[in-house]
Structure 1
Amino acid sequence: MSAAAPTANGSTQTSGAPKGILLLLLVPGLLALIITFVLPLIWLFRASFATSTMSALSGGNWTLQSYSTVVFDPFYWRIAGNTLVLGFNVAIFAVILSYPIALFLARTQSRWRGVLTALAVAPLLTSSVVRTYGWMVILGDKGVINSTLQSLNITDSVIRLTNNSFGATVALVEILMPYAILAMLSGFGRLNVQLEEAAAMLGANRFKVFTRIVLPLSLPGVLTAALLVFVLAISAFVTPRLMGGGRVFVLGTEVFNEATVTLNWPLAAALSVMLLALFSSIIVVYQRALRALEA
């Protein structure tokens, strides 16, 4: 129990907990963070400079061969470009589709609000692998969409909706929408109904109220959702692998191939560092955009 110390004006002020106790409470979390994140990250950087897979495990001479391969091989630059394009497309469409849902859930006064919110994020209870296979059934050459179009005589040939970037984008948008909804719900705290009512009383129509009040105040939540979806999309492996049919090359799939197929762990580590660099650059852009909005 904290003691009450008298102040200069005669009042009492409750002293805080000792700093030693606060630091002691931080120790378990810091240890877990160091063991599960910092140490593996250090090993990843060390492995990216190794000369071979065996030296990545046991240590040895340092070399820049893996980074030289990543930097000077156009194939890996195309993979990085494909990863960025996929991430941006998924982030844009996921935010656009999730925004009305999140805004409705943030505004509704219905007694079913909790149930509706639970339904919006319920897909997170299902594995992304299962949902990806579901999209393979829907978008496949003999899937629901192609079978329906052919049965209605709308088309005679198969429309390729899978084994390409389109299928991977569609599946990732649906898979990551719940994350976007949750991020926007947590970021819509700045919305104020009284400001909208005041604008309406001053003669603004609904479109002006939305574009000049609702949308600007909700932009921080939108940016947070876009960042979260983008990061999850560019690091995705299962969905691009399955929906791409081995024809969609992104950094996640290439890291897996180098680590498990060719067993080139130094190159896989260098590609992972490249992916981390993309994360860092996007976070820097996000922070600057957020500061500009709050200014």
Structure 2
Amino acid sequence: MSTAATSPSAAPPSANVSRGVLLMLLLPGLIALGVTFLLPLIWLFRASFASSTIGALSGGDWVLASYIAVLFDPFYWRVAWNTLVLGFNVALFAVILAFPIALFLVRTESRWRGVLTALAVAPLLTSSVVRTYGWMVILGDRGVINSTLQSVSLTSGVVRLTNNSFGATVALIEILMPYAILAMLSGFGRLNAQLEEAAAMLGANRFKIFTRIILPLSLPGVLTAALLVFVLAISSFVTPRLMGGGRVFVLGTEVFNEATVTLNWPLAAALSMLLLVLFSSVIFLYQRALRSLEA
């Protein structure tokens, strides 16, 4: 008998074949990722160092003018702060409102569970632009809320609910809540009804069961939902633009203005890189928090 055939270190032919098949299956996705994400990101990074819009297109000198304008202008620091505050508020309230819905959908044994889940995420079938216009009608100066308050004589004037950060926050919370529900539904796999039954048999009340069993086991799903909503909120453009009425300045709106209104593509690219840094920082903090929970 051949020694090569009996060698324990010799890999079976199927292993090499499976690796080749996996590489072939990954190749289209890697190519698509490189074309649609990596190449535009490289161009964006290069454009942020250009001295003019023409240089951003053709490749000019490497200058730091755009980054100096971003880092040393108090306006852009305020814009970055507004973006973080908006993202934090939207993520916080979207998670708080979505948590009981996701928990109910996970725990329910109703035959209508699939229908209820579909209804919870059904707003995703409607464009965020359409829903934003709907919130403009609801929160407008002559909208549903203001008309109702004036008709019952609770207010004598108009309550400003739009053209400010409040309106943008409310609209984004409703728009992004389905994403939080989906993230929690996929992240609540650790919940175990038997643990809750055991705790109840040992004398724990519902509050202790929630704070010591349900909440700790659901935290990974909650953090995932908060991360997803936060990232979508700070990168949003349409809703802050429409609900803010040009008075809410976030990085998304400023990137649009610099790229399409003033045609300052290097500055728009520098602001986009700043937004990417915020993304990376939040994802890093999320990974640290997730590791501490799993430790």
The alignment's TM-score, normalised by the length of structure 1, stands at: 0.95
> 1:291 and 2:282 equivalent?
no
Task: Provide closer, same or farther for how the CA distance between residues 187 and 6 of structure 1 changes in structure 2, counting only shifts above 3 A.
Answer: farther
Give the Cα–Cα distance (whole angstroms) in 1 for the partners of residues 183 and 66 of structure 2.
Answer: 37
Among all aligned residue pairs of Structure 1 and Structure 2, give the percentage whose two residues are the same amino acid: 82
Structure 1, residues 186-223: CA drift from partner, whole Å, max 9, x if none?
00000011100000000001110010000000000000
Q: How many pairs align?
A: 287
Corresponding residue for 1:195? 195
Q: What is the CA distance between 1:23 and its match in structure 2?
A: 1.6
Give the Cα–Cα distance (whole angstroms) in 2 for the partners of residues 19 and 166 of structure 1.
Answer: 53
Secondary structure, aligned partner of 2:189: helix
- 1:1-295 matches, cutoff 5 A: 15-16=14-15, 17-295=17-295
| Superposition RMSD in Å | 1.4
Give the Cα–Cα distance (whole angstroms) in 2 for the partners of residues 80 and 206 of structure 1.
Answer: 41
Q: In structure 1, what residue type is equivalent to 2:239? A: T
Structure 1, residues 146-172: CA drift from partner, whole Å, max 9, x if none?
000101111111000000000000000
Q: What is the CA distance between 1:27 and its match in structure 2?
A: 1.3
Structure 1, residues 74-110: CA drift from partner, whole Å, max 9, x if none?
0000000000000000000000000000000000000
Q: What is the CA distance between 1:20 and its match in structure 2?
A: 2.5
Give the Cα–Cα distance (whole angstroms) in 2 for the partners of residues 14 and 145 of structure 1.
Answer: 70
Q: What is the CA distance between 1:7 and its match in structure 2?
A: 9.5
Give the Cα–Cα distance (whole angstroms) in 2 for the partners of residues 186 and 171 of structure 1.
Answer: 24
> Gaps (5+ residues) in structure 1?
none
Task: Provide closer, same or farther for how the CA distance between residues 202 and 228 of structure 1 changes in structure 2, counting only shifts above 3 A.
Answer: same
Secondary structure, aligned partner of 1:240: helix
Q: What is the CA distance between 1:22 and its match in structure 2?
A: 2.2
> Gaps (5+ residues) in structure 2?
none
Give the Cα–Cα distance (whole angstroms) in 2 for the partners of residues 60 and 24 of structure 1.
Answer: 38
Comparing 147-156 with 16-25, greater Cα deviation is found at 16-25
Give the Cα–Cα distance (whole angstroms) in 2 for the partners of residues 89 and 274 of structure 1.
Answer: 20
Which segments of structure 1 move beyond 6 Å, counting only runs of 4 or more?
A: 5-8
Task: Provide closer, same or farther for how the CA distance between residues 109 and 7 of structure 1 changes in structure 2, counting only shifts above 3 A.
Answer: farther
The alignment's TM-score, normalised by the length of structure 2, stands at: 0.95
Give the Cα–Cα distance (whole angstroms) in 1 for the partners of residues 7 and 130 of structure 2.
Answer: 63
Structure 1, residues 30-54: CA drift from partner, whole Å, max 9, x if none?
1101000000000000000000000
Q: In structure 2, what residue type is equivalent to 1:203? A: G
Q: What is the CA distance between 1:60 and its match in structure 2?
A: 1.1
Secondary structure, aligned partner of 1:253: helix
Give the Cα–Cα distance (whole angstroms) in 1 for the partners of residues 6 and 174 of structure 2.
Answer: 59
